[in-house]
Structure 1
Amino acid sequence: MIVCAGRNETFNFAQPIGVGLIESSINLTRIALFDKPDFLLFIGTAGSYGNYNIFDIVESKRAANLELSFLSNDSYTPLDNVLESDNKMVKNDTIVNSSNYITTNFELSKHYNEYGIGIENMEFFSVLQVAKEFEIPVAGIFIVTNYTKKDAHKEFLSNHDEAMKRLTKYLIEKQIIK
């Protein structure tokens, strides 16, 4: 099953699950309870912490939930904040960070790279968490639309339509969709 965030990020071949950590976890749990898929592929856009360029495509099986305050030692969590799927098909080591907030401080966000975290997407951590709970193999494919800087939203909007086309083309070329 292919899933995506929703709202302005939808595809005719993917099931929207909601934007952010909460909406996506609630709706994906509902799917898993009533019609559990054999495999989950999350597709969507991402912001780069500097190591990826606009329109780069990143496949991942790893996600984190590290808030900016973690980078400055201003917070901690007793929870697992990095998850990994057992999916053997995805070889990329890039970790996708998820938060309900979009990073706009590029100088601070570059420090995520020190932890192997290269991009951010609001939903992927919750997708991995739900997949883990229901023992569903999972992976994600992301296209970079912006850098995590002050004008991230403006850059996202200006690149979004082209990114959606390129991501769809990539999925066709990889024979994931027809």
Structure 2
Amino acid sequence: MIVSAGKNETFPFARPIGVGLVESAINLTKLCLFNRPEYILFIGSAGSYGKYKIFDIVESKNSSNVELSFLENFSYTPIDNAVIIDTKLTISEVVVNSSNYISTNSNLSKDFLKFNIDLENMEFFSVLSVAKEFEIPAFGIFVVTNYANESAHSDFIKNHKEAMRILVKYLEDKNIIKEAK
């Protein structure tokens, strides 16, 4: 099953699950309970902490939930804040961070790279958490739309349409989907 956040990122071949950590977890859980898929492929956009360039395509099976306050030693968490899905579907070791907030401080954003965290996407941690709970193979394919900096939102808006075109072409070229209409 191919899923996406929805709202700005809808595709005729993907089921929308909602934006952010909560909506995506609730809606994907419902899908898994009532129509358990063989695998979950999450597709969408991502912000780069600096390693990847705009319009790069990145595959991942690893996610974290690390907040900026943690990087500044203003918080801690007693829960596990990383999910790794052991699957043969992808070999990428890229870690995608998820939060309900978009990082806009470029200096702090670069600190994620010290923890080997390369990208951010609001939903991926929830997707992998649900997949792990249901023991369903899962991974994500992302297209970079912006850097995690002061112009993150405006760059996302500016690059989004072209990024979605590039993502669909990648999925077609990899024979993950047939021609999208």
Normalising by structure 2, what TM-score?
0.97
* Counterpart for residue 110 of structure 1: 110
Q: Which letter does structure 2 place at the counterpart of 1:70? A: F
Write the deviation string for residues 89-112 of structure 1: whole angstroms up to 9, x where unpaired. Answer: 311111000000000001110010
Q: Check whether the contact 1:93–1:116 (CA below 8 A) recurs between aligned residues.
A: no
* Counterpart for residue 154 of structure 1: 154
How many Å apart are 1:88 and its aligned residue? Answer: 1.8
Partner SS for 2:44: strand
* Counterpart for residue 143 of structure 1: 143
Residue correspondence of structure 1 range 8-23 to structure 2 within 5 A: 8-23=8-23
Partner SS for 1:117: coil
Q: Which letter does structure 2 place at the counterpart of 1:68? A: L
The separation in 2 between residues aligned to 1:10 and 1:89, in whole angstroms, is 23
Write the deviation string for residues 21-45 of structure 1: whole angstroms up to 9, x where unpaired. Answer: 0000000000011001010000000
Identity across matched positions, percent: 63
* Counterpart for residue 87 of structure 2: 87
The separation in 2 between residues aligned to 1:8 and 1:167, in whole angstroms, is 14
Q: Which letter does structure 2 place at the counterpart of 1:37? A: P
The separation in 2 between residues aligned to 1:110 and 1:147, in whole angstroms, is 10
How many Å apart are 1:81 and its aligned residue? Answer: 0.4
The separation in 2 between residues aligned to 1:49 and 1:127, in whole angstroms, is 21
The separation in 1 between residues aligned to 2:173 and 2:90, in whole angstroms, is 16
The separation in 2 between residues aligned to 1:52 and 1:89, in whole angstroms, is 21
Match status 1:27 vs 2:27? yes
Q: Which runs of 5+ in 2 are unaligned?
A: none
Partner SS for 2:7: coil
* Counterpart for residue 126 of structure 1: 126
* Counterpart for residue 43 of structure 2: 43
* Counterpart for residue 55 of structure 1: 55
Partner SS for 1:165: helix
The separation in 2 between residues aligned to 1:33 and 1:119, in whole angstroms, is 29
* Counterpart for residue 97 of structure 2: 97
The separation in 1 between residues aligned to 2:111 and 2:172, in whole angstroms, is 34
Q: Which letter does structure 1 place at the counterpart of 2:38? A: D
The separation in 2 between residues aligned to 1:113 and 1:29, in whole angstroms, is 31
Q: Check whether the contact 1:101–1:122 (CA below 8 A) recurs between aligned residues.
A: yes
The separation in 2 between residues aligned to 1:75 and 1:124, in whole angstroms, is 22
* Counterpart for residue 64 of structure 2: 64
Runs (4+) of structure 1 exceeding 2 A deviation are none
Residues matched between the structures, number: 178
The separation in 1 between residues aligned to 2:9 and 2:106, in whole angstroms, is 24
Normalising by structure 1, what TM-score?
0.99
Q: Check whether the contact 1:41–1:141 (CA below 8 A) recurs between aligned residues.
A: yes
Q: Which letter does structure 1 place at the counterpart of 2:62? A: R
* Counterpart for residue 3 of structure 1: 3
